[in-house]
Amino acid sequence: MINNVYSKPRISLLFLGIFCLLFLFCNASIASSFPFRAIAVGDSVPALSFQGITDGSTVTIESLKGNPAAIVFWGADMDTKKTRSLKTFTATEEILPFLEEKKVKVILVNAQGDTKEIMQEVVSGLSGKIPAYMDETKKAYGDLGIFVVPSVLLIDKDGKVASGLGYSHDFTDRLKGEVAIMLGEKTRADVEKELRPEMKEKSEEEKKYGRHVEMATVMIKRGQVDSAISELQKAIALNPNLVEAQAHLGCLYIDKGQLEEAKKALDKAYELDDSYLPANICDARIMAEEGQIDDALGDLKALMFRNSRNAELHYIVGTLLEKQEKFADAAKEYRKAFELAQKEVEFE
């Protein structure tokens, strides 16, 4: 029964239409940007130690105490991760004088157990201003519950979690803001106000690409995928930095089986904001399409840890469980997705 009902493309489009309505016009901060699922702000950071990639030296969490610290966790097992990691390194180096002024110790840690050849290749391309370490046992990956790579963990002078964030187009401003909050120099309200100034009257160009995005939403609701793709492409032609449009374009390409095109759009969305939930969900869908269903489920369940009331997330988890013939578990996820989606529709 499950196979006959939920595998139909129209059901997928219905859910996608509902969630585009919810996400296209909502701030990306709806999705939690905290990239660690096993720790929370205020927790003591577990005892961890890392080895220098080039010199074999050791640094421990304990040795970082006394001053605040920023640990940049990264991985390079895929070209996209390598690119994002390098962008994060570059952005962090840009504000290194600010971090040094605030006495924030910065280190880079390879958290995915990449080969030494890959790590040395990446490190050799850096300026050397920030020391680079590795976590050969991947203990940090499990103890911290890292599910966004690259990501930054901010630790206060007492060794407690102050904040965490992934890379985004405004990464340097966000990192500086989180440091200011950690040091008590600003409140979160102050930082949010700086990051998101008061709304101004939209320009004619903004209104124009906004209309294309709105029309794409209508086309998705009607099941007209090609028309929706066309509208999103028009919006992106006017403004390539629309994370919502890039993400949903990638998702639609997955529906059409055009995985390479989907990857290009989702890579752009990640470049703009790697914590944007729809992009994370569709990235996992690509993994599943390429046969990595267990890994995809792992990523989706990690996302669900902080987005448990997201209907689309439950729905996609259900489709993957169904592919594994775990029909009872799939039915529970479908039921939960339907209940949450129904509440959203009633709310609208």
Per the rule left: phi > 0, alpha: psi between -120 and 50, beta: everything else, 128 is: left
Element (H, E) at 72: strand 69-74
User: If pLDDT is split at 50, 70 and 90, which confidence band does 268 have?
Assistant: very high
More confident residue, 195 or 156: 156
The CATH architecture one would assign to domain 2-27+203-347 is Alpha Horseshoe (1.25)
**183-198 residues labelled b (16+ CB within 10 A) or e (exposed):** eeebeeeebeeeeeee
Q: Where are the domains of the chain?
A: 2-27+203-347, 49-195
Does this model's pTM top 0.85? My answer is no
Residue 147, CA distances (Å) to 44, 74, 90, 136, 280 in order: 19, 11, 21, 17, 10
- Rounded to an integer, the average pLDDT of 111-116 is 91
| 206-228 confidence digits (pLDDT tens) | 889 899 999 998 888 888 999 99
- Distance from C-alpha of 236 to C-alpha of 232, rounded to nearest angstrom: 6
| 5-60 confidence digits (pLDDT tens) | 333 344 444 444 444 444 433 333 333 468 898 999 999 999 999 999 989 999 99
Fold of 49-195: Glutaredoxin (3.40.30)
Using alpha carbons only, what angle is made at residue 107 by residues 281 and 155, rounded to the nearest 5 degrees? 75
Residue 197 is classified by DSSP as P
Q: Which of 72-81, 163-172, 227-236 has the highest mean pLDDT?
A: 227-236
With 50 as the cut, is the pLDDT of residue 329 above it?
Answer: yes
With 80 as the cut, is the pLDDT of residue 188 above it?
Answer: yes
Partners of 165 in the β-ladder: 152
- Rounded to an integer, the average pLDDT of 132-142 is 94
Where does residue 207 rank: exposed (0-12), middle (13-18), buried (19+ CB within 10 A)? exposed
User: If pLDDT is split at 50, 70 and 90, which confidence band does 236 have?
Assistant: very high
Partners of 51 in the β-ladder: 58, 134
Residue 239, CA distances (Å) to 211, 232, 242, 245 in order: 13, 10, 6, 10
